[in-house]
Amino acid sequence: MNEKKTMLSGIQPSGDLHLGNYLGPMRHWPGMIETYDCFFFMADLHTITVRQDPAQLRKRTLTQIAQYIASGLDPEKCTLFVQSHVPAHAQLGWVLNCYTMFGELSRMTQFKDKASKHSENINAGLFTYPVLMAADILIYQPDYVPVGEDQRQHVEICRDIAERFNGIYGDVLRVPEPYIAKVGARIMSLNAPETKMSKSLPEGCVFLMDKPEDIMRKFKRAVTDSDTERCVRYAPGEKPGVSNLVQIYAAATGKSFEEIESEFAGQGYGKFKPAVGEAVVETLRPIREETERLLADKAYLESVYRAGAEKAGCVAEKTLRKVYKKLGFLAR
Ligand code: TYM
C-alpha cells in the first residue's frame, strides 16, 4: 500500500516564469519530491482563457518543463506533465461545473481582476477557470497543494466543491490543504510594490531567464520608500518597497528578517539593493544555465513529458472512473 502523501501543483505557461513563481511555490517543490508523491504540470489549458500566440505557447510550455527540471525536479522522482496531455482534467472539469454555483464563481477576485483587464474577451472559460483548477487538483487526490498567496481562494473553492460532491456521493474526493509558505508567497513588483509581481509589469518583474546584468539593473532601480529613516526594516504596511526586497533577500538566502536587518543596520538602501540583486542572480544562475542546456536536448524533454502523461493519465483515469460510477454513468 502506498503510504506516501500526495502533492500537486501547476503553473500556466502564459508568460515566462518569474521570480514570484519561483520564490512563491516553485522553490519548495524539489524538497517535496523525496517525501511526497508529487505531480507538477504545465497548466496549458488554463492559458487560453486569454488569447495566446500558438507558437509562443508551444515554446513556453517546453521551456517551462526544462525550468522545472533545472530547478531540481528530477523526473525520475516525480511526475512532470502537460495538462492538455491528460484529457481527464477537462472531463472532471465538466462534471464539477455542475457542482459549482454561479454565485461562488462570481466572487473570485482573480475573475473580477482579469475581466476588468480583458473587457473585450470575458469568456465563459475565464469564469469557470477555478472549476478546471479544482479538477486539476481533485483528480490526483492530493493532500497538499503548494501555491502562492494569490491562489489561496482557488484552493478554497476547490475544497468547497469537493465537500459538496462528497456530501452527495460519500467520501469520493480527498479535500486538499493549500500549502502556502510564510516567506515569499506574495512577491511584489520591483517598481510598483503595492502590486503583485507579474509578467504584465515587465520592468518590475525578474524573469528566470533574465541575464545577470538585467537582474542587477532591475534591482538597482527598485522602488524603495520615501520615509526619512532610510533603514532596512521589514514593515510591509509602512515600507512596502523595502519590505518586498527584504522578503526577496530572505527567500533567496534563507536568512531571517532579523538577520537581514542587522546585516544592513546603518547602511541605507545603497548597499542593500545590489546585495538583493546579487543574491537573486546567484539563485537563478544555475537554473538558467541548466534550462539552456536542457532546451538543446528536445528528445529528452519529450521523453519526460510523454512518460509523465502516461503516469498522470493512469492516476487521473482511476479517479474519473470512480466519479463517473458514483454519478450513475453507464460503464463502457
Ligand atoms: P499562475 O500560473 O498564475 O502562478 C503559478 C504559481 O506562482 C504563484 N505566484 C506567485 N507567488 C508569489 N508571488 C507572486 N508575485 C506570484 N505570482 C504567481 C501562484 O500563486 C501560483 O502558485 N491557476 C494557477 C495554475 C494552476 C494550478 C492548478 C495551481 C492551474 N491548476 C492546480 C495549483 C493546482 C495559476 O494561474 O497560477
Nearest CA residue ID for atom 16, ligand 1: 20
- Percentage above 70 pLDDT, the chain: 99
What rounded mean pLDDT belongs to the chain?
Answer: 96
The verdict on residue 192 lying in a domain is no
Query: Is 211 a residue of the active site?
Result: no
Query: Is 199 a residue of the active site?
Result: yes
**If you search the block for the grid coordinates 517535496, which residue do you land on?**
32
The verdict on residue 16 lying in a domain is yes
17 and 104 inside one domain: yes
Cα(26) to ligand 1 centroid in Å equals 9
Closest CA to 8 of 131, 179, 163, 164: 179
pLDDT value at residue 141: 98
Residues 242, 269: Cα–Cα separation, whole Å: 8
The verdict on residue 145 lying in a domain is yes
Closest CA to 243 of 192, 185, 193, 180: 193
Grid coordinates belonging to 106? 462570481
Which residues make Cβ contacts (< 8 Å) with residue 204, sequence separation at least 6? 189, 190, 191, 192, 195, 197, 218, 222
The verdict on residue 197 lying in a domain is no
Residues contacting ligand 1 via CB (< 6 Å) = 8-12, 20-21, 24-25, 43, 46, 133, 136-137, 145, 147-148, 150-151, 154, 185-187, 196-198
Q: Could you tell me if 176 and 158 are in contact, meaning their C-beta atoms sit under 8 angstroms apart? A: yes
pLDDT band at 51 (very low <50, low <70, confident <90, very high): very high
> CATH no. for residue 21?
3.40.50.620
150 and 270 inside one domain: no
Query: Is 114 a residue of the active site?
Result: yes
**Backbone phi, then psi, for 51, in 5-degree steps?**
-60, 135
The verdict on residue 196 lying in a domain is no
pLDDT band at 315 (very low <50, low <70, confident <90, very high): very high
pLDDT band at 118 (very low <50, low <70, confident <90, very high): confident
Cα(283) to ligand 1 centroid in Å equals 20
The arithmetic mean of pLDDT across residues 201-226, rounded, is 94
Tell me how long the chain is: 332
The arithmetic mean of pLDDT across residues 75-85, rounded, is 98
pLDDT value at residue 228: 73
The arithmetic mean of pLDDT across residues 4-11, rounded, is 97
199 burial (CB, 10 Å; 0-12 / 13-18 / 19+) is middle
> CATH no. for residue 263?
1.10.240.10
Residue 93 sits in which domain range? 6-185+298-327
Which residues make Cβ contacts (< 8 Å) with residue 192, sequence separation at least 6? 201, 204, 223
* Res. 296: pLDDT tops 80: yes
Residues 235, 176: Cα–Cα separation, whole Å: 32
The arithmetic mean of pLDDT across residues 74-78, rounded, is 98
265 and 318 inside one domain: no
Q: Which of 7, 11, 280 gets mutated to test ligand 1 (max ligand atoms within 8 A of its CB)? A: 11
* Res. 46: pLDDT tops 90: yes
22 and 139 inside one domain: yes
pLDDT band at 227 (very low <50, low <70, confident <90, very high): confident
276 and 322 inside one domain: no
pLDDT value at residue 321: 98
Summarize pLDDT for 247-268 with one digit per residue, the tens: 999 999 999 999 999 999 988 8
91 burial (CB, 10 Å; 0-12 / 13-18 / 19+) is middle
pLDDT value at residue 2: 60
Residues 18, 242: Cα–Cα separation, whole Å: 19
* Res. 316: pLDDT tops 70: yes
Of the listed 112, 117, 199, 220, which one is catalytic?
199
231 and 306 inside one domain: no
The verdict on residue 191 lying in a domain is no
302 and 281 inside one domain: no
Q: Could you tell me if 252 and 287 are in contact, meaning their C-beta atoms sit under 8 angstroms apart? A: no
The verdict on residue 224 lying in a domain is yes
Torsion-angle region of 266 (φ positive above 0: left; ψ -120 to 50: alpha; else: beta):
left
pLDDT band at 230 (very low <50, low <70, confident <90, very high): confident
Q: Could you tell me if 281 and 212 are in contact, meaning their C-beta atoms sit under 8 angstroms apart? A: yes
Cα(169) to ligand 1 centroid in Å equals 30
Ligand 1 atom nearest 147 alpha carbon = 22
53 and 178 inside one domain: yes
Closest CA to 51 of 132, 97, 117, 136: 117
The arithmetic mean of pLDDT across residues 214-218, rounded, is 97
pLDDT value at residue 268: 83
Cα(270) to ligand 1 centroid in Å equals 32
pLDDT value at residue 226: 78
**If you search the block for the grid coordinates 507538477, which residue do you land on?**
40
321 burial (CB, 10 Å; 0-12 / 13-18 / 19+) is middle
Of the listed 59, 112, 117, 196, which one is catalytic?
196
The verdict on residue 35 lying in a domain is yes
pTM equals: 0.96
Grid coordinates belonging to 291? 534550462
Q: How many domains does the chain contain in total?
A: 2
Ligand 1 atom nearest 188 alpha carbon = 15
279 and 315 inside one domain: no
pLDDT value at residue 3: 80
Cα(111) to ligand 1 centroid in Å equals 14
Beta-strand relationship, 37-42 and 79-82: parallel
Closest CA to 260 of 147, 208, 204, 183: 183
17 and 125 inside one domain: yes
The arithmetic mean of pLDDT across residues 112-134, rounded, is 94
pLDDT value at residue 1: 54
161 and 260 inside one domain: no
159 and 60 inside one domain: yes
Q: Could you tell me if 268 and 43 are in contact, meaning their C-beta atoms sit under 8 angstroms apart? A: no
